[in-house]
């Protein structure tokens, strides 16, 4: 009889080194297999094997990159398997929106009697890539920052890595000429610094970028940052920290189930840490297709009112 739970443990995740006692305790549990994974390829291979071996639950013990790898591995037909998250990363942003406790020990307790909900998955298609994400997609300036924020940088700076990257890249800020289409609407032309396609609410370790995002509504929250100059960008940053950034004239805010994007110069897209660098791209939301273990407070704070 196959074990019930497979835990994919990423030893490179931000707080994995502090959770060795928990790791030892999990290894002693009946019906649990713990497999160490040190690369994206290892995560994908292990998750694929778990689905084929008919495990009842797979646990991503790592950060958002580990979760992203599992989600992509299980996206193939016939590989559906409930996913739980043990938050060991520096950001753990999807876990926040799922209301999973930030303490790994408390998160493990959810596995005793898991509450499983289905959440949306977002498909990005480009000329050379077909890839999924479940939390945050961004392009333009933020894509460049996240491309700069290597694993080594994130280990050194932790949750501050994104802010450190902004300071590092601000002098290279340039506008993009962007053509967008939302669902079946007309094309829109904008000069932008940034595009955010949010399925979850937070990024970079809890920064509340899309406070109204709902993981089950079949849409992404689209934030377009207009290229109005560095002065306006500084004002926007202050409004962001005050929680009023969606009201700023620099921001164009939309919701859509499908978005087509083409930019000049081409934008680098970051999808839960995975990079896509070719265009044009189309993102399509697949509604409530990923079964995940959620915390007891999941869904209680989501609002669709602006």
Average pLDDT, integer, range 183-203: 92
- Confidence band of 268 (pLDDT split at 50, 70, 90): confident
pLDDT at position 234 is: 52
Average pLDDT, integer, range 259-263: 97
Q: Where are the domains of the chain?
A: 5-113, 125-289
pLDDT at position 157 is: 39
C-alpha to C-alpha distance for 34 and 235, rounded to whole angstroms: 48
Greatest Cα pair distance, the chain, in angstroms, is: 63
pLDDT at position 214 is: 95
Between residues 192 and 203, the one the model is more confident about: 192
- Given a cut of 50, whether residue 71 has pLDDT beyond it is yes
Task: Name the burial class of residue 179, with classes exposed (0-12), middle (13-18) and buried (19+) by CB atoms within 10 angstroms of its CB.
Answer: middle
pLDDT at position 74 is: 95
- Confidence band of 158 (pLDDT split at 50, 70, 90): very low
- Given a cut of 70, whether residue 143 has pLDDT beyond it is no
- Given a cut of 70, whether residue 169 has pLDDT beyond it is no
pLDDT at position 204 is: 72
Average pLDDT, the chain: 83
Which CATH number applies to 125-289? Answer: 2.60.200.40
pLDDT at position 20 is: 86
Nearest one of 119, 76, 129 to 219, comparing CA atoms: 119
pLDDT at position 282 is: 97
* Among 108-122, 134-148, 208-222, 278-292, the least confident range: 134-148
- Given a cut of 60, whether residue 232 has pLDDT beyond it is no
* Share of residues in the chain with pLDDT > 70 (%): 80
Token pair 């961004």 is found at 138
Between residues 101 and 152, the one the model is more confident about: 101
> pTM, whole model, 2 decimals?
0.85
- Given a cut of 60, whether residue 162 has pLDDT beyond it is no
Query: What tokens does 86 get?
Result: 């043990």
- Given a cut of 50, whether residue 167 has pLDDT beyond it is no
Handedness of CA 295, 299, 301, 306 (dihedral sign): positive
- Confidence band of 228 (pLDDT split at 50, 70, 90): confident
Average pLDDT, integer, range 216-243: 70
Q: What is the pLDDT of residues 72-116, one digit of tens each?
A: 999 988 889 999 999 998 889 999 999 999 999 999 999 989 999
Nearest one of 240, 242, 159, 254 to 198, comparing CA atoms: 254
- Given a cut of 90, whether residue 243 has pLDDT beyond it is no
Nearest one of 25, 89, 17, 105 to 272, comparing CA atoms: 89
Q: What are phi and psi of 149, to 5 degrees?
A: -80, 80
3-state DSSP of the chain: CCCCEEEEECCCCCCHHHCHHHHHHHHCCCCEEEEECCCHHHHHHHHHHHHHCCCCEEEEEECHHHHHHHHHHCCCCCCCCCEEEEECCCCCHHHHHCCCCCCHHHHHHHHHCCEEEEEEEEEEECCCCEEEECCEEEEEHHHHHHHHCCHHHHHHHHHHHHHHHHHHHHHHCCCEEEEEEECCCCEEEEEEEEEEEECCCEECCCEECCCCCCCCCCCEEEEEEECCCHHHHHHHHHHHHHCCHHHCCCEEEEEECEEEEEEECCCCEEECCEEECCCCEEEEEEEEEEEEEECCCCCCCCCCCC
pLDDT at position 68 is: 94
CATH superfamily of 5-113: Probable inorganic polyphosphate/atp-NAD kinase; domain 1 (3.40.50.10330)
pLDDT at position 273 is: 78
């Amino acid at each position: 009889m196959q074990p019930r739970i497979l835990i994919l443990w990423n030893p490179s995740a931000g707080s994995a080194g502090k959770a060795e006692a928990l790791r030892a305790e999990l290894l002693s549990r009946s019906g649990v297999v713990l497999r160490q994974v040190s690369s994206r390829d290892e995560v994908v291979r292990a998750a694929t094997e778990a689905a084929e071996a008919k495990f009842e639950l797979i646990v991503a013990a790592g950060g958002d990159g580990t979760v992203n790898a599992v989600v992509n591995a299980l996206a193939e037909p016939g590989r559906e398997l409930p996913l739980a998250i043990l938050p060991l990363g520096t950001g753990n942003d999807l876990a926040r929106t799922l209301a999973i406790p930030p303490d790994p020990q408390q998160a493990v307790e959810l596995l005793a009697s898991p509450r499983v909900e289905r959440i949306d998955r977002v498909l990005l298609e480009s000329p050379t890539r077909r890839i999924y994400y479940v939390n945050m997609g961004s392009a333009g300036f933020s894509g460049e920052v996240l491309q700069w924020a290597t694993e080594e940088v994130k280990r050194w700076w932790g949750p501050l890595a994104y802010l450190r990257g902004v300071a590092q890249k601000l002098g290279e800020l340039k506008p993009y000429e962007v053509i967008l289409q939302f669902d079946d609407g007309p094309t829109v032309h904008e000069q932008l610094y940034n595009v955010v396609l949010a399925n979850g609410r937070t990024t970079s370790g809890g920064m509340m970028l899309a406070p109204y995002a709902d993981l089950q509504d079949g849409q992404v929250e689209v934030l377009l940052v207009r290229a109005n100059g560095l002065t306006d960008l500084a004002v926007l940053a202050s409004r962001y920290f005050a929680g009023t950034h969606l009201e700023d004239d620099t921001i164009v805010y939309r919701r859509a189930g499908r978005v087509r994007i083409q930019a000049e110069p081409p934008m680098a897209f970051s999808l839960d840490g995975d990079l896509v660098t070719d265009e044009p791209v189309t993102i399509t939301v697949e509604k409530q297709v990923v079964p995940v273990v959620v915390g007891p407070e999941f869904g209680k704070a989501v609002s669709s009112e602006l």
